[in-house]
Structure 1
Amino acid sequence: MGLHGKLVAAIESKAGGDVVHDFFRHTPHDVPTATQYVHGCDLIEGEFGHAGSIICWTYTHDGKQRKAKELVETVDEEKKLIVLKVLEGDLLELYKNFVITFHVEKKGDDIDLVTWTLEYEMLNEDVEHPLTLLSYFIDITKDMESRLVAKS
C-alpha cells in the first residue's frame, strides 16, 4: 500500500566519526548547547548511552515546538550505531511507528560518514514522507560538528 518508508542521508564528518558518536551517545543532553534546533534532552529512565533507556527530546522542527519520547533500542559501540524508537510525541500524530538510526561508517581510510536513517509507517496515504525531518538531522549534525571541531 506504500505506507512504509525509509530515508537515508550520509554526510562526511569533519570532527571524526568517533568523536560525533561519543558526543551523541554519552552526552545527548549537551546537544542543545550545540544547536538552536534542540532545546532539551531529559533522561526519563535508564542511563545515557545505554540500550533500554528512555529519553525525552524537546525541539523545533518546521517552525513548531515539538516533543519526542524515545526508547534507546540499540547501542552498538563497535559499529558506532544507535537506534531510537519513538514511543510518544508529535511524530506519532502522522506515523504509526518511527525509528531513527544514527550510524558512523568508514569510507576508505580517512573519511567517516555520519548516517541518519528514518524508518516509518505512515498512518494514511495523505501523510508526507519526512524529508524535512531528514534535512533537520543533517542540520543538527553540522551544528554538532562545528561545536566539536571548535573544541579540538
Structure 2
Amino acid sequence: MEAHPELHTFLKPYSQEIQDIVWALRNFVVNVVPEANELIWDNYNALAMAYSKSEQLKDAFCHISVYAKHVNFGFNRGAELSKASITLNGKGKLIRHIKVTNLNTFPKKDLKPMIWEALGISEQLNPGLGQRSIVPKSIVMSISEKKLRPN
C-alpha cells in the first residue's frame, strides 16, 4: 500500500533517524498484514498511524505514535494479548506499547505473532472484518491546527 502523500509532509519536522524508524515500522506492519488500512492522525502532541481492517479506529489492532526523540509501537488492545513474549509498557485499560529508539533492537520476530493475535482480537470483536476482502488505503483522519513538533 502506498503511504498517503501527506504522511511525508507530516514527518518532515522529525529527525531523519525518527523518520527512518517510522518508515521501517510502517513497512513491517504493512508486510505482516497487507490487507490493513492505515489511519493517520496528525494530532497536537504526536503523529499517529493506526492499522485496521476497516476505516474505524475501534477496529485497529496496532499503531505507531511518533514523538521528537522516539517512536512508540503499540497495540490497541495490548492488555488482552496472551502471547506477549516481550514486556509492553502502559498502565491504561487496554493500550500497550514499546518505545523504539533504534531499529537494531526492534524485536520483529517477537512482535509478529503478537500482531497476528491482536488482529484476531479485533476480528473477534467485529466478526465482519475477517470476512471482507479490502483494497488497503492510507487515510488521513484528522489534522490538528496546533501541533507540538520538534524544531
TM-score, normalized by length of structure 2? 0.32
Structure with greater proportional strand content: 1
Q: Which has the higher contact order (CA 8 A, sep 6+)?
A: 2
Structure with greater proportional helix content: 2
TM-score, normalized by length of structure 1? 0.32
